[in-house]
Amino acid sequence: MLASQDPHNQSPHTQEPPKRRFLGRGDIDVSFEFFPPKTDPMEDTLWRSIRRLEPLRPKYVSVTYGAGGSTRERTHATVGRMLRETTLKPAAHLTCVSATKEEIDEVIRDYWDLGVRQIVALRGDPPDGVGECYEPTPGGYANAADLTAGIKKIAPFEISVGCYPEKHPESPSVEADIDMLKAKIDAGATGAITQFFFDNEVYFRYLDRVRAAGIDIPIVPGLIPIHNFKQVSSFAERSGASMPDWIGRRFEGLDEDQETRHLVAAAVAAEQVLGLVDQGITEFHFYTLNRADLVYAICYLLGLRPAKAFTEAKVEPAT
């Protein structure tokens, strides 16, 4: 058979180039998740990461929110500092855990007064940790849909919620999760961020099911760079996200080889994100774990560059 007659042997000039070839034209949006620090060294790490990623002009950055009072205070302090000292748009996390409606409503009002205009509304994990039975707090919001409705009654926040391509660990089925997502949207949510995943087909199958259910809000893929394979594997096991065997094989024998492990992690992340781009995905949410290095490299691959104002600020004036 002549090459020109073989549909699998097309000339490179007749094939549609992958969408990644067109990156850098301003069509990619990213957002970043950070968690509030518990110690002074962690505070330094967090703010180095924030300063490193800020010039990439993310759509917003979210700050997680724990069940304990001190964690909530650290979240509030981190968000406040972002508003005072950076150009970033913070989106504060809120959960239903270990607080009454009155207590959470007070936090919501405080965030509005502080200048926050976006919230990530989540049910939250049981106070005793993932795997324990979740029980709504007496007098509190029952779930994320209930919380979303409560937020909307107080102020016109933009609200993002979570969704789970491989279903929430406590959910009986993906269909039940999709029904809950519908309830969150009915309550006022305008966007959803997925739990992290490592196989892009998991995301696309979920997206097909969500769209077939009549849900048309943005479903932004949540991605977690693998800085530490054992740590991320543990996160995946607790959250119900599958870890493909091929990823484990790529990190075999690298526990004591940090330099190679870092290069492999960058390659794995690049493969995943560029595969999503080739299928038309243009918005990404990164779970940074307060680490900027891999996230910055991935964003660079996506065509993002530091804003001119930041690069010019580093240039010393002539004397």
Which residues form the catalytic set? 33
Q: 294, 287, 167, 136: which is closest to 224 by C-alpha?
A: 287
141 residue type, one letter: Y
Q: Sheet containing 219-220: give its strands across.
A: 219-220, 191-194, 158-163, 118-121, 90-94, 60-63, 29-34, 283-287, 222-223
Q: 164, 215, 221, 155: which is closest to 190 by C-alpha?
A: 215
Integer-rounded Cα Rg, in Å, for the chain is 21
Task: Count Cβ atoms below 10 Å from residue 11 Cβ, excluding itself.
Answer: 8
C-alpha dist (Å) from residue 238 to 48, 169, 272, 302? 28, 8, 22, 30
How many helices (H) does the chain have, and how many strands (E)?
A: 11, 9
| Separation of alpha carbons 37 and 217, rounded Å | 32
Question: DSSP assignment, residue 219?
Answer: E
Give CA angle at 237 (232, 239), nearest 5°: 90
C-alpha dist (Å) from residue 142 to 94, 135, 150? 13, 8, 11
Residue 206 contacts residue 133 (beta carbons within 8 Å): no
Q: 242, 257, 177: which is closest to 215 by C-alpha?
A: 177
